[in-house]
Amino acid sequence: MIRAFHLRDLTLVHRLSEHGVSLHTESALTRNLQPVRSALFSLVGGDFPTYVWKSAPENAAGFIQLSLEEDAQHAHILYVSAAENAPSDRGEDEHGQPPLNETAWLSLLDRAVAEAGQRGIHSLVAEVDENGPELPVLRRAGFVVYTRQDVWALNGAVDAPPANLLHPRQTADDWDIQLLYANIVPRLVQLVEPVPRINDGIGWVLREGNDLAAFVHVYDGPAATWVRLFVHPNAESRAAEIITAVLQKHPPRPLHPVYCCVRRYQSWLQNPLARAGFRLWGSQAVMVKHTVHHSQKSEPELSAALEAQGITPTAPYIQHYQTRSEKQNGKPAKGTAVCE
């Protein structure tokens, strides 16, 4: 049985949170979200709808939590957890965790997809470890891998020469940022990965002449800083300078590391990150399931529709545009326009 979170489920969610899996890396690393707090927030119409699952004999339970953004067509699965109430005899995995309860996961994922569809969300996104047990379960639930990503971490300060080549993003840059995004991100990924939230966080740009060579989006959360780099391939040679400039403006602090997420379509950024002192934190698969499907509906031919409505067809009116030479030779006729 699956139902929306209720206050009486607070103890259950608190207990299961200790063994859950976060499927949205940015939130997990930068905001340090607590499932219990987010679940309570959902009771007053917050952006973290939470659903609880219990098996019929009450020997197992779980919950799933989503992260919704205002006016967004895509949602992230924030957290999933499921465990046996009684001690399990199935052993533990290599990390000392009990194996996934696939029955609970599949039920929770199905409910999340249905809920997202009812809210007008087009797709659900989940980020899972490439070699983790969650990936095959998500495949069974109908999720597919759209891209892969590597997350790099920098914990200590680095000595870097001054590199003041980045400038704060201005409103006039927004069109060029969208154009850069369209030229870098593959079309398939664009369906589920919107343009970075330029109004949520800090943006930096690098221009070469009139062209936008790079856009850097930085979210400075309470627990860590999250960086996304969008660098045009023509500016690949300047990647190290761009990374250095970002670190000067947003250096890591004690207990406040800097994470940089690199999608595989920009894998060439990984070498400059390693030279700047970053270390690979983890590699993940970005999995997506669509909640809506497009269907084709045949329409009657236009001529048949016109006949049924009794509309008499008329010849289109073509406006005459008088050239400059015609204007000089005489006064333009009434009802004509002069082409300047």
Over the stretch 215-269, which tens digit does the pLDDT of each residue have?
Answer: 999 999 999 999 999 999 999 999 999 999 999 999 999 899 999 999 999 999 9
Task: Tell which residue, 148, 152, 128, 124, has the closest CA to residue 67.
Answer: 124
Q: Is residue 314 part of a domain?
A: no
Rounded Cα distance between 61 and 88, Å, is 13
C-alpha–C-alpha distance, residues 90 and 234, integer Å: 53
Residue 309 inside a domain? The answer is no
My answer on whether 167 and 213 are in the same domain is yes
| Domains contained in the chain, number | 2
For residue 223, being part of any structural domain is answered with yes
**CATH number reported for the structural domain that contains residue 116 in this entry:** 3.40.630
Express each pLDDT in 29-79 by its tens digit.
Answer: 998 788 888 888 888 777 888 999 887 666 788 999 998 876 678 889 999
- Shared-domain flag, residues 212 and 275: yes
Residues 138 and 162 in one domain: no
Sign of CA dihedral 154, 179, 206, 220: negative
Which amino acid does the sequence have at 339? C
Q: Which residue did the predictor score with more confidence, 34 or 129?
A: 129
Q: Which among 263, 59, 232 has a CA at the least distance from the CA of 150? A: 263
Q: What is the pLDDT of residue 6?
A: 86
Look at residue 321 and tell me if it is in a domain: no
User: Which amino acid does the sequence have at 113?
Assistant: V
Single pTM value for the model: 0.80
Beta-bridge partners for 84: 60
Residues 282 and 209 in one domain: yes
The mean per-residue pLDDT over the stretch 274-284 comes to 95
In a domain, 107, yes or no: yes
C-alpha torsion angle, residues 43, 46, 49, 51 (rounded to 10): -20
Structural domain of 87: 2-125+134-142
Examine residue 229 and state whether it is found in any structural domain, yes or no: yes
124: left (phi over 0), alpha (psi -120 to 50) or beta: beta
Coil/strand/helix, residue 310:
coil
